[in-house]
Amino acid sequence: MRRYGKHTDEDDIRSRPNRKGNRPRTHIRPKHEDAAEGFVLTVDRGRLTCLVEDTVVTAMKARELGRKAAVVGDRVALVGDLSGAKDTLARIVRIEERASLLRRTADDDDPYERVVVANADQLAIVTALADPEPRPRLIDRCLVAAFDGGLTPLLVLTKSDLASADEILELYGALDIPYVVTSREELETGQAADRVREHLAGKVTAFVGHSGVGKTTLVNALVPKERRRITGHVNAVTGRGRHTTTSALALPLEGAEGWVVDTPGVRSFGLAHIDPSRVIHAFPDLEAGTGDCPRACSHDEPDCALDQWVADGHADPARLYSLRRLLSTRERHEGD
Ligand SMILES: Nc1nc2c(ncn2[C@@H]2O[C@H](COP(=O)(O)OP(=O)(O)OP(=O)(O)O)[C@@H](O)[C@H]2O)c(=O)[nH]1
Ligand SMILES: [Mg+2]
Ligand SMILES: [Zn+2]
């Protein structure tokens, strides 16, 4: 039912580095010509749960993939037992070329990149208005990651029953980023899911944010049937006391093309892998004011035109403060 575009031989050659001479290693191809296409729903210690047509299949990576790892959101080719029956195991023989790869580091000085999800085209940045308190720094960092990774951001502000959205909307309302505000009551009436769903059709949306902001609650409200069907096959989706999510889980939208990906809560969203000169793109309200900046302005120096831009009322001073704080934490780690 769900098809992900045919792979081509060209893709295959490009994605497989060829170390042993000049001949592309296409000899593997004919063996797997009849491989089925699947979508990686979740990964748990080497076991990958994939959706193949409409069947939930457990798979392992085939030896020939070497060190290449499939991640949630990957489109893969599978062979072997695709029945989805208990205790069967299929093999993933190919990972299709990725349209995007959302990554983060634990901290800005952490060289180790964690992949959040492959092929996402939208980043839903989920922030609770209270419990836990909203953290604009984390929002800004997620925005930088989204812009840098070519994902469209969507701001989801939850728990408006506990606190007002006014302050956050004042900061981010001018950004032209689509946003949705939800409350406990709207979750119960289904309005919350409806409002978020308007932004999801045809897209792969990754939900990210601090632990406890309500990502899983929302994803479950969005795709209740698929959630039950698929997690019936997946052990250990949640665990560790509270219902905190421990691994990413992709679920197909019901009644529309598209996927939602629930991810574990993050404490920080490290940007060590992102060039500081690209950070400004995540601040379009400020980027518009950089025309008079000196060449190669760091935007954190005395001649930067942004002070005047803010003084003239074109952007909120809190946003400039936020940009500079982000740039300076990035810088501090550069020499490390
Ligand atoms: N008052 C209120 N509580 C909410 C709302 N949305 C979610 N919650 C509660 O917030 C708590 C945390 O929700 P989760 O959905 O588990 O949060 P999460 O973002 O998935 O957390 P992690 O998996 O740890 O990252 C739960 O007790 C929810 O019932 C809301 O709109 N209002
Ligand atoms: Mg969760
Ligand atoms: Zn500047």
Residue 22 has pLDDT above 60, yes or no: no
Q: What is the pLDDT of residue 330?
A: 65
Question: How many beta carbons lie within 10 A of that of residue 83, not counting itself?
Answer: 11
pTM of the entire structure? 0.84
Domain match, 110 and 148 both: yes
Which ligand is nearest the CA of 279, by number?
A: 3
Q: State how far the Cα of 328 lies from the Cα of 76, in Å rounded to an integer.
A: 40
Domain endpoint, select from 95, 113, 141: 95
What is the CA(74)–ligand 1 centre distance, in A? 27
List residues forming the annotated binding site for Zn(2+).
Answer: 293, 297, 299, 304
Closest ligand 1 atom to 210 CA = 25
Pocket of ligand 1 (CB under 6 A): 158-159, 161-162, 182-184, 187, 209, 211-217, 243-245, 264-265
Q: What mean pLDDT, rounded, does the chain reach? A: 85
Domain match, 249 and 180 both: yes
Closest ligand 1 atom to 213 CA = 19
Domain match, 81 and 120 both: no
The domain in which residue 307 lies consists of 276-331
Domain match, 288 and 315 both: yes
Domain match, 109 and 136 both: yes
Determine, yes or no, domain membership for 2.
Answer: no
Domain endpoint, select from 215, 234, 262: 262
Domains identified in the chain, total number? 3
Domain match, 160 and 201 both: yes
Closest residue CA from atom 11 of ligand 1:
212
Do β-strands 101-105 and 179-181 pair in parallel, antiparallel, or remain unpaired? unpaired
Q: What is the enclosing helix (H) or strand (E) of 330?
A: helix 317-332
Mean pLDDT along residues 285-311: 95
Higher pLDDT, 22 or 112: 112
Mean pLDDT along residues 100-107: 84
Domain match, 307 and 225 both: no
Domain match, 107 and 85 both: no
Determine, yes or no, domain membership for 29.
Answer: no
Determine, yes or no, domain membership for 21.
Answer: no
What is the CA(156)–ligand 3 centre distance, in A? 30
Residue 204 has pLDDT above 60, yes or no: yes
Which of these ranges, 36-40, 129-133, 203-207, 280-284, has the smallest mean pLDDT? 280-284
What is the CA(214)–ligand 1 centre distance, in A? 3
Closest residue CA from atom 12 of ligand 1:
212
Beta carbons of 274 and 148 less than 8 angstroms apart = yes
Do β-strands 259-262 and 249-252 pair in parallel, antiparallel, or remain unpaired? antiparallel
Domain match, 119 and 222 both: yes
Residue of 180, 56, 224, 294 whose CA lies nearest to 216: 224
Domain endpoint, select from 56, 75, 95: 95
Which ligand is nearest the CA of 302, by number?
A: 3
Closest ligand 1 atom to 218 CA = 15
What is the CA(132)–ligand 2 centre distance, in A? 14
Closest residue CA from atom 8 of ligand 1:
214
Q: State how far the Cα of 309 lies from the Cα of 312, in Å rounded to an integer.
A: 5
Q: State how far the Cα of 277 lies from the Cα of 122, in Å rounded to an integer.
A: 22
What is the CA(22)–ligand 1 centre distance, in A? 53
Q: What is the enclosing helix (H) or strand (E) of 114?
A: strand 113-118
CATH number, residue 307: 1.10.40
Which of these ranges, 105-119, 132-146, 303-317, has the smallest mean pLDDT? 105-119
Beta carbons of 57 and 87 less than 8 angstroms apart = no
Beta carbons of 92 and 65 less than 8 angstroms apart = yes
To test the pocket of ligand 1, the residue of 126, 195, 213, 220 to mutate (highest count of ligand atoms within 8 Å of its CB) is 213
**pLDDT confidence of 24, banded at 50, 70, 90?**
low
CATH number, residue 179: 3.40.50.300
Determine, yes or no, domain membership for 144.
Answer: yes
What is the CA(177)–ligand 3 centre distance, in A? 23
Closest residue CA from atom 7 of ligand 1:
214
Q: State how far the Cα of 101 lies from the Cα of 327, in Å rounded to an integer.
A: 23
Per-residue pLDDT tens digits for 231-252 = 776 644 444 445 788 899 999 9
Determine, yes or no, domain membership for 250.
Answer: yes
Domain match, 81 and 158 both: no
What tokens appear for 146 in the block?
A: 């989204």
Q: State how far the Cα of 327 lies from the Cα of 300, in Å rounded to an integer.
A: 8
Determine, yes or no, domain membership for 5.
Answer: no
Q: State how far the Cα of 290 lies from the Cα of 183, in Å rounded to an integer.
A: 38
Determine, yes or no, domain membership for 314.
Answer: yes
Residue 9 has pLDDT above 50, yes or no: no
Determine, yes or no, domain membership for 174.
Answer: yes
CATH number, residue 90: 2.40.50.140
Domain match, 132 and 242 both: yes
Domain match, 206 and 300 both: no
Which ligand is nearest the CA of 212, by number?
A: 1
